[in-house]
Amino acid sequence: MTVSDPVVESVIATISRSATEIRQGLIGRRGTVDEENPSGETQVEADIWADELLGDRLAGIDGVGQYASEERAEVEDCGGDPAMEDVYAVAVDPLDGSSNLKSNNAMGTIFGVYDAALPARGETLVAAGYILYGPITTMVLATEESVTEYELTGGERTVVDRDVRLPDEPVVYGFGGRVPDWPDDFQEYAREIEQELKLRYGGAMIGDVNQVLTYGGIFGYPGLESRPEGKLRLQFEGNPIGYIVERAGGRSSDGNQSLLSVDPDDLHDRTPVHVGNSELVERLEDRVENRIA
């Protein structure tokens, strides 16, 4: 599938071509550095390296007005105004699940292309996707028209499925955060779900969401007793993943409303994230109090 807008297609092509290089570049960059990202999390060498690689390449695309990353405190001005026609902002989580590097488990790259200056509502996304560095490197790309899965190799992308849809019958679930830190109402909901579905949780949201897209089900990282705002970032994780799942026929929610409807206050705002089959997300909204509403 080729995206009709040449700027958006250039962004997608640049990220997909960089995937093989990023995967290979993880070797030898598994150690932590004496720095934290703007969210206060310890960075690994690969976080910084992948961010610099993607930032340099995406900022060089004519029509990309802003670049923002989970690893950078501020939005980078690339020389264009996203309020202008055919100028976009790109938000990236260069290595989702980079803590999995130490144990050599799955991780990914998440990106969103916004038709608005950052921080922005998810409703302004025109494309979003993620790359999964699993046994096979794959990319799931959502646009206004459809959700497509690709295999990535040698800088090329090969279509696997042109119309990714959540299966009607859900099979798997994965919930983040420490169970003792879950609010009581979420714990009750989780106890119900674990009687119905199979647990799939690997410590990288991309891997867990990909399981949900493949088999149907629900992924959630709730607001916690110690952190009611949740852990995941709206601009870099919540919005792009919510956009993908909604385009695939599912729902996203912060516990009260679609993630795409949330008004951001700051580039690094956090949010509870729940995505999956509509019925499961609706049940969650009925049971769980939104503590950040």
Which numeric CATH code is attached to 172-287? 3.40.190.80
Q: How far apart are CA 253 and CA 259, in angstroms?
A: 5
> Can you give the pLDDT at residue 141?
98
Tokens of 231: 């852990």
Q: Which residues contact 137 (CB under 8 A, 6 or more apart)?
A: 19, 20, 23, 131, 151, 152, 153
> Can you give the pLDDT at residue 2?
55
Kindly give the parts of the chain with pLDDT less than 70: 1-2, 34, 39-40, 290-293
Q: How far apart are CA 148 and CA 272, in angstroms?
A: 26
181 in a labelled binding site: no
For 266, how many CA atoms within 13 A lie in the half-sphere containing its CB?
Answer: 12
184 in a labelled binding site: no
10 in a labelled binding site: no
Find the length of the chain: 293
> Can you give the pLDDT at residue 81?
87
95 in a labelled binding site: yes
58 in a labelled binding site: no
Q: Which residue has the tokens 């310890």?
A: 42
> Can you give the pLDDT at residue 220?
97
Predicted structure pTM score: 0.94
98 in a labelled binding site: yes
> Can you give the pLDDT at residue 29?
85
> Can you give the pLDDT at residue 292?
54
> Could you report the per-residue pLDDT of 125-159, keeping only the tens digit for each?
999 999 999 999 999 999 999 999 999 998 899 99
Q: Are 188 and 235 within 8 A, CB to CB?
A: no
Which numeric CATH code is attached to 6-161? 3.30.540.10
Q: Which residues contact 153 (CB under 8 A, 6 or more apart)?
A: 20, 137
Domain edges within the chain: 6-161, 172-287
CA dihedral 135, 175, 141, 250 (to 10 degrees): 130
70 in a labelled binding site: yes
Kind of pairing between the strands at 107-114 and 125-133: antiparallel
SS3 per residue for 101-131: HCCCCCEEEEEEEECCCCCCCHHHEEEEEEE
> Could you report the per-residue pLDDT of 184-230, keeping only the tens digit for each?
999 999 999 999 999 999 989 999 999 999 999 999 999 999 999 99
150 in a labelled binding site: no
Backbone angles phi, psi at 234, to 5 degrees: -65, -50
